[in-house]
Amino acid sequence: MPLIKSWLESANDPDCPFPLNNLPYGVFSHPGTQPRCGVAIGDQILDVAALEAAGLLTLADKPVFDRPEWNAVMALGPDDWQRLRTLLLGFLVEGAALKSQVSAYLHPLDGATMHMPFTVAEYTDFYAGRHHATNVGTMFRGAENALPPNWLHIPIGYNGRASSVVVSGTDVRRPWGQLKAPDADAPRLAPCERFDFELELGAIVGQPSGNGQPVTVAEADAMIFGYVLLNDWSARDIQAWEYQPLGPFQAKATATTISPWIVTRAALEPFRCATPEREKPLLPYLQEPGPMLYDIALEVELTPRDGAPTIIAQTNYREMYYSSAQQLAHHTTSGCPMRVGDLLGSGTISGPDKDSRGSLLELSWGGREPLELPDGTQRSFLHDHDRLTLRGQCHGDGYTLGFGACSGTVQPALPDPYRR
């Protein structure tokens, strides 16, 4: 699909991440204003809450944009999702009849404060990238036992903490936890020493599933409202001690950062691509009816305090072994009901090459091969005041489709939180 031209000239720049082909959804404010729903277009934000209040945008028999979240719109369902997109395209396309009215509801993107775009109902994180799983397994179990026996049959995941999902720009404090050195007799309580990031894509569930009713992969795909970039901050040393036998707990509970704009499934349609050839056949309920991944170029930037930003990893979402639709379908096999606003983390997205690894654990190979930055400093894991920024783009015919930055800065651990 080529670029859809807008009367807003900035949206026609081939390097602009928010052309008319995109129309991502977020929640924004400016000084002195309350957070409200908006749509990114070019270098502006269209205030859809104000459009609805003015009677120019009606999506349902009652207001759905009168709150600082997109959950009410999600709950309307796919037909209304498409209707909204059609209305927005009509407002903003080159030659639009309502240009003069709509232009009054545009606000500069520069200087806007972005907020959580939706209320997270539940959060589930998966372990669905083969390169990442192979790298981590090789480090800890050897190449011959890198993948667990179930990995090629099932998208492995765990239930995380919805309460610690935060929007891009939120600082992340280094966590405390139990740490145990290999030669120590007992653990100690201390700040994490091996704090890490994980490059992921988050899928947002926009429609519920029935209690006790599994869904197919095709049905799961239709339930997904859109996608965000996701950094699942990870305390590797806390996890190493706590994870047996039930898996991650406090090591993954500190924070999960998401990008502020929801890129809709409709916008990503031209970029669909297939999952890789299967080494072992999947059970029928996990087989996909068509391409379910997307060609999204991804990068990770690390900026030390008083240092220059450096791209430390580049990869692509098409490297995943299991798609979000497969993950969602598997999530319902037990009858687990999915809710509007559920968030599914893809799992770390790593590629086959060293510079395409989506975590410092892999980039430094467990700390044994520290990453060297241009200023001569090294990183095995994150230092205090390091800022991590994830970016994602799709490259279309004459346009770029972007997600907006997903960033967070590591703040020092609290002083002993138990000393009163």
pLDDT digits (tens, 9 = 90+) for 260-294: 999 999 999 999 999 999 999 999 999 999 999 99
Q: Does 129 lie in the same domain as 15?
A: no
CA distances from 29 to 46, 48, 72, 190 (A): 12, 13, 19, 38
Total structural domains in the chain?
A: 2
d(C-alpha 344, C-alpha 155), whole Å: 12
pTM: 0.97
Catalytic-role residue among 107, 132, 330, 331: 132
CA distances from 415 to 34, 238, 408, 410 (A): 34, 18, 21, 15
Contact, 261 vs 403, CB < 8 A?
yes
CA dihedral (116, 119, 125, 128) positive or negative: negative
Going by C-beta distance under 8 Å and a sequence separation of 6 or more, which residues neighbour residue 102? 46, 51, 56, 91, 92, 96
- Rg, the chain, Cα only: 22
When pLDDT is averaged across residues 50-75 and rounded to a whole number, the result is 97
Residue 100 maps to which CATH number?
Answer: 2.30.30.230
| pLDDT of res. 197 | 98
Q: Does 138 lie in the same domain as 98?
A: no
| pLDDT of res. 58 | 96
Residue 235 maps to which CATH number?
Answer: 3.90.850.10
132 belongs to the catalytic site: yes
Residue 210 lies in a domain: yes
Q: Which of 115, 140, 168 is the last residue of a domain?
A: 115
When pLDDT is averaged across residues 125-149 and rounded to a whole number, the result is 94
Residue where the block lists tokens 């052309």: 19
Residue 110 lies in a domain: yes
Q: Does 230 lie in the same domain as 93?
A: no
Q: Does residue 414 surpass a pLDDT of 80?
A: yes
Contact, 345 vs 315, CB < 8 A?
no
Q: Does 134 lie in the same domain as 84?
A: no
Q: Does 130 lie in the same domain as 79?
A: no
Q: Does 131 lie in the same domain as 92?
A: no
When pLDDT is averaged across residues 33-54 and rounded to a whole number, the result is 98
Q: Does 173 lie in the same domain as 31?
A: no
Residue 420 lies in a domain: no
pLDDT digits (tens, 9 = 90+) for 328-341: 999 999 999 999 99
Q: Does residue 152 surpass a pLDDT of 80?
A: yes
Residue 3 lies in a domain: no
Q: Does 94 lie in the same domain as 138?
A: no
Residue 419 lies in a domain: no
d(C-alpha 171, C-alpha 156), whole Å: 29
pLDDT digits (tens, 9 = 90+) for 168-197: 999 999 999 999 999 999 999 999 999 999
When pLDDT is averaged across residues 98-127 and rounded to a whole number, the result is 97
Q: For residue 46, what are the domain limits?
A: 9-115
